[in-house]
Amino acid sequence: MQLRSKDLLGIKELSAEEINLILDTAETMKHVLSASSKKTAHLQGKSVVTLFYENSTRTRLSFEMASKFMGASSANISSSGSSINKGESLIDTVRTIDVMATDILIMRHSQSGAPHMIAPLIKASVVNAGDGMNEHPTQALLDLFTMRQHKGSLQGLEVAIVGDLLHSRVARSNLWALEKMGAKVRMAAPSTMLPKDLDKTPALVCPTVQDAVRGADVVMGLRVQLERQQKALYPSIREYARFFAIDDKTLQLAKPDAILMHPGPCNHGVEMPTSVYDGSQSVINEQVTNGVAVRMAILYLLSARRNG
């Protein structure tokens, strides 16, 4: 089985079979990460470029490590230090990268839909590494991979997603992915951080964090994205933490073997106290490791498709 598209633009475009293919391939890739020699030939002779118009630590580095572990030639370009700062357009920038024999272009952009716009214009495969508030498909895939490793199956899993839902591409991609895999999603956020169209999705919107977390198998916190807020959406960070933080007491409402997730970066003391972030139920560091395995799988599958 192969991926159907040359690009990975969003979870919306993937089938459940394709999601399973990526997760199964990532299982194999994870073994490479724990081997003493982290070198495979999966991407030998291939070229991978990351183009990031927004800040990133985990996503960018994990794509770069994934490319290197599999033997690709990789390069990074960001808006500062490139001709983007001279006003070059997105289309001219990606066409320039494309004609340098690039096989896979990984892009993060603040505009929703930017990767979808450029993908048909270039030969390289485009991977969406986050577009505005729309989607972050590779994050959702690594989240599903982490859930599957702990819970065995995603079917029927009860997942609580809490925090700044309005600005979160992570929440959107997780919602589409979990729905496709048969999991049930509950969400909670301050009313000012609730997207208007949430009632048109399969998510169950809960009035409080406690209601969302009660009985859950997975509890996922989201970062309060101050950089995307046009105006203050909460009187103060202290108030937010008081009503919406996932503290010890709230986490105890979930199933005793529930796992705690966060895509990072975390505002400690806001989304959750450090004791919970570092606590025994937290799989936040595992998510980061799994991010490398899942991105290795995605790069490999896209490259295999290009080879025909």
Q: Answer yes or no whether residue 177 interacts with ligand NCD by CB under 6 A.
A: no
Identify residues 35-54 at the interface with ligand NCD (CB under 6 A).
Answer: none
State the Cα torsion 84-86-92-94 to the nearest 10°: -20
Q: Answer yes or no whether residue 128 interacts with ligand NCD by CB under 6 A.
A: no
Instruction: Please give the full DSSP string across 51-109, using - where no structure is assigned.
Output: EESS--SHHHHHHHHHHHHTT-EEEEEESTTSGGGGT--HHHHHHHHHTTT-SEEEEEE
Angle made by CA atoms 35, 77, 89, in degrees to the nearest 5: 145
> Contact with ligand NCD (CB under 6 A): which of 32, 90, 147, 170?
170
Q: Answer yes or no whether residue 264 interacts with ligand NCD by CB under 6 A.
A: yes
The residue number whose beta carbon is nearest to ligand NCD equals 223
Least separation in angstroms between residue 189's CB and ligand NCD is 14
Q: Which strand ranges, in their side-by-side order, compose the sheet holding 125-131? A: 73-78, 47-52, 104-109, 125-131
> Contact with ligand NCD (CB under 6 A): which of 190, 195, 221, 263?
263
Q: Answer yes or no whether residue 136 interacts with ligand NCD by CB under 6 A.
A: yes
Least separation in angstroms between residue 15's CB and ligand NCD is 24
Q: Give bridge partners of residue 49 from the DSSP assignment.
A: 75, 105
Burial 210-223 (b: 16+ CB within 10 A, else e): bebbbebbbbbbbb
> Contact with ligand NCD (CB under 6 A): which of 25, 47, 74, 139?
139
Q: Answer yes or no whether residue 169 interacts with ligand NCD by CB under 6 A.
A: yes
Least separation in angstroms between residue 284's CB and ligand NCD is 10
Closer CB to ligand NCD, 40 or 110, in the complex:
110
Closer CB to ligand NCD, 59 or 174, in the complex:
59
Q: Answer yes or no whether residue 223 interacts with ligand NCD by CB under 6 A.
A: yes
CB 220 within 8 Å of CB 262: yes
What's the rounded Cα separation, in Å, for the pair 125 and 302? 7
Footprint on this chain of ligand NCD (rule: CB under 6 A): 58-59, 130, 136, 139, 169-170, 223, 225, 263-264
